[in-house]
Amino acid sequence: MSRAVVILPTYNEEGNIRSVIEGVFAQAGKKPSWDLHILVVESTSQDRTDEIVTGLQKNYKKLHILRTKKEGLGKAYIRGFEYALNILNADIIFQMDADLSHEPAKIPAFLSLIESGADFVIGSRYTKGGSIPENWDFHRKLFSVLGNWIIRIGFMNMKITDWTSGFRAIRAPLIRNIIAKVDNFSGYVFQVAILDNALKNGATVKELPIQFKDRKEGKSKIDSIEYIIQTLLYVFLESSFVKFVLVGGTGFLLDSIILYILALKLHFPPWFAKLISAETVIISNFTLNNFWSFSHKQLDLRWKTYFRGLLKFNIVSSGNIFIQTIGISVMTYLFGKSNIILYNALIIILLVIPYSYFFYNKFIWKDSR
């Protein structure tokens, strides 16, 4: 029998915790092949949360409690993961809020998706069939919806609609592989970090629609401003796509500088100056992308592999030149030459960036799995 451990982080949840625990254990019979446990990670609540959980342990043998310092949601989960992996020998770990926002009745559906091959199941509010409460005020809706869109675009991953959901089921070996990488994220940004690292690890991620409910009792612990800043910073520092765009930008600068020096200062023939500047940029972009943007899929340093990668990069870059030449010709033919700089920018943003990013991912830095 496989073991699923539902982690419930708690801070002042005395009004909710009993119903959550009872609701989760009520699901146990629905999936007989799973041994369902609960691990409450209790961080010095000032109310009766601890007392209630301790009392319930008399009725439920599979209810565990881990007491930790109050160091934020991410740290609570890290401690909980370690306990669930090393002490409880979990095969699957659930993340779930202890405030009745997440319906325990969804647990069997998460397990079914795991059984069908998923490594990471997200309870998603934004996929078809999922929802957020209608009565959320405009600001809250905006933050949540917009936040998810920024993350999706920042990571250039449109398949996943809900990056910040706190209701998830994850295979234990996957958590073992990535736990060291997410150890530093103590706050709510932890949720984004763990999903990003799972994807970089090649995990199969599936979404399950959920109807998110407002917390029943008690107060929200989230600091929205801190959360937004940390999330934007995370996307900026960790997204392959953002790094890829920055590398492209430095490439453009380098190209201009070399061209300027060779053609204007050293008086090389323009075609020769351009040949050298273009190939220098190709080599520098390839190297920066390999060791930075796509470092999680880095090509190894054996001469043959590296050279083959560089050759492929040259091929994709030739395609790029082709797209730009055709694009500029068509645009100027249709609309005249006066806005050529604008057309060039449009072609780069709408064609070159998507084209390159697609082929870098599918042809040069393929997933290792």
Ligand X SMILES: Nc1nc2c(ncn2[C@@H]2O[C@H](COP(=O)(O)OP(=O)(O)OP(=O)(O)O)[C@@H](O)[C@H]2O)c(=O)[nH]1
Q: Where do contacts with ligand X occur on this chain (CB under 6 A)?
A: 9-11, 13, 41, 43, 70, 72-73, 76, 97-99, 101, 166, 215, 220-222
To ligand X, the closest distance from the beta carbon of 71 in angstroms equals: 6
- 3-state SS string over 67-129? ECCCCCHHHHHHHHHHHHHHCCCCCEEEECCCCCCCCHHHHHHHHHHHHCCCCEEEEECCCCC
To ligand X, the closest distance from the beta carbon of 69 in angstroms equals: 9
Which residue has the closest beta carbon to ligand X? 220
**Residue 338 CB contacts under 8 Å (≥ 6 apart), including other chains:** none
In the list Mg ion, ligand X, none, the entry touching 62 (Cβ below 5 to 8 angstroms by class) is none
Strand bridging mode 120-124 / 168-171: antiparallel
Looking at the Cβ atoms of 73 and 281, the one nearer to ligand X is 73
Looking at the Cβ atoms of 97 and 162, the one nearer to ligand X is 97
To ligand X, the closest distance from the beta carbon of 271 in angstroms equals: 59
- Residues 42, 10 contacting (CB under 8 angstroms): yes
**Please, which of residues 80-99 interact with Mg ion by CB under 5 A?**
97, 99
Q: Give the count of residues interacting with Mg ion (CB under 5 A).
A: 4
In the list ligand X, Mg ion, none, the entry touching 147 (Cβ below 5 to 8 angstroms by class) is none
**Please, which of residues 221-250 interact with Mg ion by CB under 5 A?**
none
* Angle subtended at Cα 238 by Cα 237 and Cα 242, rounded to the nearest 5 degrees: 75
Contact status: 16 vs Mg ion (CB under 5 A): no
**Closest to 220 measured CA to CA, from 144, 306, 112:** 144
Looking at the Cβ atoms of 101 and 164, the one nearer to Mg ion is 101
Residue whose entry in the numeric block shows the structure tokens 């392959």: 240
Looking at the Cβ atoms of 215 and 312, the one nearer to Mg ion is 215
To Mg ion, the closest distance from the beta carbon of 3 in angstroms equals: 26
Looking at the Cβ atoms of 30 and 70, the one nearer to ligand X is 70
In a 10 Å sphere around its CB, with 0-12 CB exposed, 13-18 middle and 19+ buried, how is residue 29 labelled?
A: exposed
Contact status: 215 vs Mg ion (CB under 5 A): yes
In the list Mg ion, ligand X, none, the entry touching 175 (Cβ below 5 to 8 angstroms by class) is none
- Residues 294, 266 contacting (CB under 8 angstroms): no
In the list Mg ion, ligand X, none, the entry touching 10 (Cβ below 5 to 8 angstroms by class) is ligand X
To ligand X, the closest distance from the beta carbon of 237 in angstroms equals: 22
- Residues 176, 204 contacting (CB under 8 angstroms): no
To ligand X, the closest distance from the beta carbon of 66 in angstroms equals: 9
In the list ligand X, Mg ion, none, the entry touching 41 (Cβ below 5 to 8 angstroms by class) is ligand X
To ligand X, the closest distance from the beta carbon of 292 in angstroms equals: 32
Looking at the Cβ atoms of 181 and 213, the one nearer to Mg ion is 213
**Closest to 324 measured CA to CA, from 250, 240, 242, 252:** 252
Q: In terms of C-beta distances under 8 Å and separation of at least 24 residues, what long-range contacts does 56-62 make, across chains too?
A: 56/18, 56/21, 60/21, 60/25, 62/25, 62/35, 62/36, 62/37, 62/38
DSSP codes of every residue in 305-318: HHHHHHHHHHHHHH
Q: Which of 101, 230, 285, 293 binds Mg ion (CB under 5 A)?
A: 101
Q: How far apart are CA 92 and CA 89, in angstroms?
A: 9
In the list Mg ion, ligand X, none, the entry touching 83 (Cβ below 5 to 8 angstroms by class) is none
Q: How far apart are CA 209 and CA 125, in angstroms?
A: 6
**Token pair recorded at residue 353:** 């960036």
To Mg ion, the closest distance from the beta carbon of 221 in angstroms equals: 8
Contact status: 13 vs Mg ion (CB under 5 A): no
To ligand X, the closest distance from the beta carbon of 291 in angstroms equals: 36
In the list ligand X, Mg ion, none, the entry touching 167 (Cβ below 5 to 8 angstroms by class) is none
DSSP bridge partners of 34: 2
Q: State the residues that interact with Mg ion by CB under 5 A.
A: 97, 99, 101, 215
